Amino acid sequence: MAQLSKILRNVEDCGLMFYCPGCKGMHMIKHGAGQRPRWQWNGNVDKPTFSPSILVRGTKMTEKGKADYNAWRDAGFPGLGHERQFDSMPTVCHSFVTDGRIQFLSDCTHELAGQTVDIPELPEWAQDE
Instruction: Residue 93: name the closest of 26, 5, 17 by CA.
Output: 26
Residue 119, interface with Zn ion (CB under 5 A)? no
Residues 65 and 85: beta-carbon distance below 8 Å: no
20 binds Zn ion (CB under 5 A): yes
Phi and psi of 90, rounded to 5°? -70, 145
| 23 in contact with Zn ion (CB under 5 A) | yes
Within 47-76, the residues that bind Zn ion by CB under 5 A are: none
- SS3 state of residue 42: coil
Beta carbons within 10 angstroms of residue 34's beta carbon: 11
Examine residue 21 and say whether the peptide bond preceding it is cis (omega within 30 degrees of 0).
no
Q: How far is the CB of 87 from Zn ion (least distance, A)?
A: 22
Interaction between residue 22 and Zn ion (CB under 5 A) = yes
Interacting stretch for Zn ion, rule CB under 5 A, among 2-10, 59-67, 79-87, 93-101? 93-101
Among 8, 93, 102, 122, binds Zn ion (CB under 5 A): 93
Q: What are phi and psi of 94, to 5 degrees?
A: -130, 120
Q: What is the smallest separation between the CB atom of 74 and Zn ion, expressed in angstroms? A: 31
Q: How many residues bind Zn ion (CB under 5 A)?
A: 4
The residues of the shown chain that bind Zn ion, judged by CB under 5 A, are: 20, 22-23, 93
